[in-house]
Structure 1
């Protein structure tokens, strides 16, 4: 069963000169799906902001499989493929599907959490970590040990 966190239509503004979806639109759709996934776990932006915490990316990789055109209806799934046991570091895979069910792209993002005031990486408070660790996990999910200082 796929966990779809974003569904929508490709807009004219998301099309490039070759008449297919521009490269940055893939990252935008993945980010929107990722935020929807976090919200579904109880990690709404207002909750995170209350703790002065935000997600931060280290790497984002896109693999293009098929063209996506204007007015195409797409679906984006999110699965955690790797995370530390406390959720402090993670990799999320997003699969982008066209309306015909064909997988058009794979977007993989590595990230962590940042204290928005101190501008330093942090570990989520236990109550938020527990919420995050309930995210959908891929069939090839790897849980890494918690790093100690």
Structure 2
């Protein structure tokens, strides 16, 4: 299933060159992920209740086209990789400008962290299934964990 969020950009998102600053792209991708979680019934309160939260190991941004002051954007979410119990995941976000042109591709590699033990963990069942219906990227691959082999 496709998931896209439309955003109205803010003055604070832009730099002296009058185009969107590099970290703003990543901020919008993070917001899209949290909105995706919320769409599938996982709120910030669930992170606290279940004592588990998402963390990132890597974040890579490829800039393709400027987004200028006053433009609105859309950000999608696709799954690039997923481990068997959903404990590790790789997500791709495509950022489109107001003309619908691809402006950036952001790829993040992350996992679920037990907030008490401060260790990576298998998430509760509710968290394991959130990516099952997400759109898979063309280059989707299963993430094989060392303990799985």
What is the TM-score when the length of structure 1 is the normalising length? 0.91
> How far off its partner does 1:2 sit?
4.5
Rounded Cα–Cα distance in structure 2 between residues aligned with 1:148 and 1:42: 29
Rounded Cα–Cα distance in structure 2 between residues aligned with 1:34 and 1:137: 15
Aligned to 1:82: 81
> How far off its partner does 1:37 sit?
1.0
- 1:90-129 → structure 2 map (5 Å cutoff): 90-129=89-128
What is the TM-score when the length of structure 2 is the normalising length? 0.91
CA RMSD of aligned residues (A): 1.7
- 1:16-35 → structure 2 map (5 Å cutoff): 16-35=15-34
Rounded Cα–Cα distance in structure 1 between residues aligned with 2:85 and 2:146: 9
Question: Is 1:48–2:51 an aligned residue pair?
Answer: no
Asked if structure 1 preserves the Cα contact closer than 8 Å seen for 2:59 and 2:107, the reply is yes
Q: Which runs of 5+ in 1 are unaligned?
A: none
The 1:57–1:104 alpha-carbon spacing in structure 2 relative to 1, beyond 3 Å, is: same
- Structure 1 residue ranges (4+ consecutive) displaced by more than 4 angstroms after TM superposition: none
Rounded Cα–Cα distance in structure 2 between residues aligned with 1:105 and 1:36: 19
Aligned to 1:3: 3
> How far off its partner does 1:135 sit?
2.7
For residues 59-115 of structure 1, what are the alpha-carbon distances to aligned partners after superposition, in whole Å with 9 as ceiling and x for unaligned?
Answer: 101000000011101000001111102111111000000110100000000000001
Asked if structure 2 preserves the Cα contact closer than 8 Å seen for 1:41 and 1:135, the reply is no
After superposing the two structures, state which structure 1 stretch, 119-128 or 32-41, moved more: 119-128
Aligned to 1:39: 38
Q: Which runs of 5+ in 2 are unaligned?
A: none
